[in-house]
Structure 1
Amino acid sequence: MSKNIYVGNMAWSTTEADIRTAFEAYGEVSSVKLIEDRETGRPRGFGFVEMNNDTDAMSAIDALNGNNFDGRALTVNEAKPRVERPRW
């Protein structure tokens, strides 16, 4: 089963390729999705990485959380399930 990982506090200049390369050092990455603002299209400074192997994912979380990446200390942890919020 794959593990979804939250990655936050990224520099706006960080790309999906940058994140993929960082996580691939710990195992196979199945997807990377950086979140953008709907209105401006600018990066919001966070995203999600999906890894196929739980052990590799936990190694990546342990190694990269708090690590300096593009001048920012990354926040890396297991993603929590999305909670649906009512739309106004």
Structure 2
Amino acid sequence: MVKLFIGNLPREATEQEIRSLFEQYGRVLECDIIKNYGFVHIEDKTAAEDAIRNLHHYKLHGICINVEASKNKSKASTKLHVGNISTSCTNLELRAKFEEYGPVLECDIVKDYAFVHMERAEDAVEAIRGLDNTEFQGRLFEGWMSGSCGTSAAKQYQASRCDDLCLT
């Protein structure tokens, strides 16, 4: 899996439109748009290279987009999806909250939800355990491991959540 960065996205660009554009070159596993940039996770390196070669400086809605390999700080990060974020919450405030559990590599708020990439899977599990259904800026956090992370930590967390719900 290769993560691509798409910069200079026009406002009217949709997730489905970006997904369709990149699917010409290979299987798209995930597509996220954050304001005027986004990320596409494409299945293999050859497809990613083809997409970069053909879509870098591609005109979308009259605007030239930039496509390049994402400069991930760590390939072993664990992606969390956090829902029910206050509209007044900033990236810095959310990052600080999650950094109470460990290093945060990336934090992106999209409307009332966010994606938080933590450096270590075990820290991500602890963050979700500690923050899920807790109040932050007047709202209850709804957090879970992103389905695309595919880590054993995600499975570990899901199993522990099930254990918490099961009666013995």
Among 62, 66, 84, which residue is 2:133 paired with? 66
Gaps of 5+ in 2: 1-75, 149-168
- Percent of aligned pairs sharing the same letter: 32
Query: For the residues of structure 2 that align with 1:52 and 1:11, how far apart are their CA atoms?
Result: 24
How far does the alpha carbon of each residue in 1:46-85 deviate from its partner, in whole angstroms, 9 at most, with x for none?
010000101111000100100100000010110123xxxx
Structure 1 residue ranges, 4+ long, deviating more than 2 angstroms after superposition: none
Among 22, 25, 30, which residue is 2:97 paired with? 22
Higher relative contact order, chain-length normalized (CA < 8 Å, sep 6+) = 1
Q: Which has the higher helix share?
A: 2
Query: For the residues of structure 2 that align with 1:66 and 1:75, how far apart are their CA atoms?
Result: 6
Whether 2:123 is the aligned partner of 1:56: answer: yes
Q: Which has the larger radius of gyration?
A: 2
Task: Normalising by structure 2, report the TM-score.
Answer: 0.43
Task: Normalising by structure 1, report the TM-score.
Answer: 0.80
Gaps of 5+ in 1: 36-43, 82-88
2:82 corresponds to: 7
Query: For the residues of structure 1 that align with 2:122 and 2:114, how far apart are their CA atoms?
Result: 20
